[in-house]
A and B are shown apart, each in its own frame.
Chain A
């Protein structure tokens, strides 16, 4: 199975900061990667698919880049509602695999 290594596992930042989360795949997955946001007690929410395409309704401060094995999610100007846990997911081949998650906390 493809392993997804996500970093950092946790991150402290302030409102207005720019943050970047990284995911690395153990083998090339083209651009078959999505980013998900999860808040406590809620189901995950799709933010980005195809490594860089913003899901409808998601604010433009979220952006994704990457292809092959290296991917990143950037939030350009953190808002209070962005403090949550973020996951990457490779959907290139079964079994699909998530990264371990990044918990974004308020500094």
Chain B
């Protein structure tokens, strides 16, 4: 079964750091572009970051550029999001998402919750 399982969400103070992880299973992880998408409480979806299968292509939303870093470990079928200088507005449910070779984001995890608050 194709599955994505996020972890690492927590309550953190403004200015703090956090590392999210996503464990992938059931597919050839290194063949797929992967993303992080977030959703603040009661708000819409926001694309955060994406990374190519061999990490050669990386992108960030303007709102997180310079503060967040996406990475992957293909040997461990894992995706990461290192978040630093966290702000209250980074509070959200963070989804790990598979991109089906440009044919849509077809597999979503259940998300991990990040709360930035003092």
Contact = CB atoms under 8 A, between A and B. Distances in A.
Interface of A: 1, 32, 34, 36, 38, 43-46, 48-50, 53, 55, 85, 87, 89, 91, 94-101
B68 to A, nearest CB: 12
A36 B61 contact: no
A9 B35 CA distance: 25
Given A34-B105, A101-B45, A49 B100 contact: yes
B14 interface: no
B46 interface: yes
B102 A98 contact: no
Interface of B: 35, 37, 44-47, 50, 57, 59-62, 95, 99-100, 102-106, 108-111
Contact of A43 (B57, B61, B104, B108): B108
A11 B109 CA distance: 28
Contacts of B35: 96
B47 A95 contact: yes
B44 A55 contact: no
A96 B100 CA distance: 15
A44 B4 CA distance: 13
A101 B39 CA distance: 12
Contacts of B37: 44
Contacts of B45: 36, 38, 44, 87, 89, 98, 101
A95 B37 CA distance: 12
Contacts of A46: 104-106
17 contacts: A34-B105, A38-B45, A44-B45, A46-B106, A49-B104, A53-B103, A87-B45, A89-B105, A91-B102, A94-B50, A94-B59, A95-B59, A95-B62, A96-B59, A97-B47, A98-B45, A98-B47
